[in-house]
Amino acid sequence: MSRTALVTGGAGYIGMEACAELAASGRRVRALDVLLHDQQERAEELRARGVDLVVGDIRDVDARATALDGVDEVVHLAAIVGDPACAVDPDLSREVNVEGARQLVRDARDRGVERLVFASTCSNYGRMADPSVPITEDGELAPVSLYAEQKVGIEQALLSEDWSPLEPTCLRFATVYGVAPRMRFDLTVNEFARDLWAGRHLEVFGEQFWRPYVHVRDAARAVRHVLDQPLDKVSRRVFNVGRSGENYRKLDLVEEITKQTGHGTVGYVARAEDPRDYKVSFDRIAAELGYATTMTVPDGITEVIAGLEAGRFGDPFARAHRNTD
């Protein structure tokens, strides 16, 4: 019997790809999205693919009730995403990322939903004492931004409280990149590639500090992969999502983009300390769930540049391609 999955934030950067993955698995897919970033065209794409789209706010009780009706699984992606967007309106970010998430989880539990995948972030690791040693899911969480603090708080609630019959899984995504229907150019790989492709001067802060990266389609594949696993393998578990070989410095990204474009100029701004500096291990999801990524950062850079060359994104500097003004 076909299962029904709800994807909150289903018209977003990862959400569009997650809806596609889940539909391809034979699930009935519903999306809940407030279309905060003027994604009317994305909404029509979802409907054309057979996704049942509920246009509404995660904070609205009626919208949640409509979205959760008859649902077996929930993928919670809806959020004010990223440090800059949360800093613009901390009160809104708390309402959406904390209160909205808690209300969704409670409603899902009360309706007998069986599984929840919560989208978290590797930013939870913050600044590591020794970033040369990749950190695992059991490592210390040291969030240094409001966004990461909010994600850590929801993770702790999901893992420490009894939500039966709902069984949660937390996915800590690496920094996402790559081409997607709801394209974003406020993410490091995409932004750097765009600016250098356009011949602009790029100023890079903290070029020596480490971050992990994962392609947007691989992030969506991880959601489907987790939902396809036996419950006892993923219930009340945390998994980093990415590949252990895909930790890069900003310096490495610039070198790869420059190799592929030959455009633009780069300036490096010295920063003795970055509040976030971490390498991440993704061995658990590979060893325990058999998950492997399909794309590397160089692949993603090639893809983004090809899309820019083809004019696929319209104006790549347009407001629609970022989460903040």
- Fold designation for 4-176+213-241: Rossmann fold (3.40.50)
Give the architecture-level CATH label for domain 178-212+244-279+294-321.
Answer: Alpha-Beta Complex (3.90)
| Greatest CA separation for the chain | 57
Residue 271 has pLDDT above 90, yes or no: no
Residue span(s) of the chain under CATH 3.90.25.10 come to 178-212+244-279+294-321
pLDDT higher than 90, residue 274? no
In the three-class reduction of DSSP (H, G, I as helix; E, B as strand; rest coil), residue 240 is classed as strand
> In angstroms, what CA-CA distances link 301 with 10, 179, 254, 255?
24, 9, 10, 11
Q: How many CB atoms lie within 10 A of CB 99?
A: 12
Residue 7 to residue 237: CA distance in whole angstroms = 20
Q: Give me the mean pLDDT over the 244-271 stretch.
A: 94
Cβ neighbours of 31 (radius 10 Å)? 30
265 torsion bin: left (phi>0), alpha (psi -120 to 50), beta (else): beta
pLDDT, position 273:
61
Please determine, for residue 59, whether its predicted confidence score (pLDDT) is greater than 90. Answer: yes
Q: Higher pLDDT residue, 136 or 278? A: 136
Average pLDDT along the chain:
95
For 8-65, give the DSSP string. Answer: ETTTSHHHHHHHHHHHHTT-EEEEEE--TT--HHHHHHHHHTT-EEEE--TT-HHHHH
The verdict on pTM exceeding 0.75 is: yes
Q: Where in the chain is the domain with CATH 3.40.50.720?
A: 4-176+213-241
Q: Across-strand partners of 175?
A: 213
Name the least confident of 119-133, 146-160, 230-244.
Answer: 119-133
Residue 231 has a pLDDT of 97
Work out the average pLDDT over 301-322. 96
CA nearest to 110, candidates 149, 147, 163, 146: 163
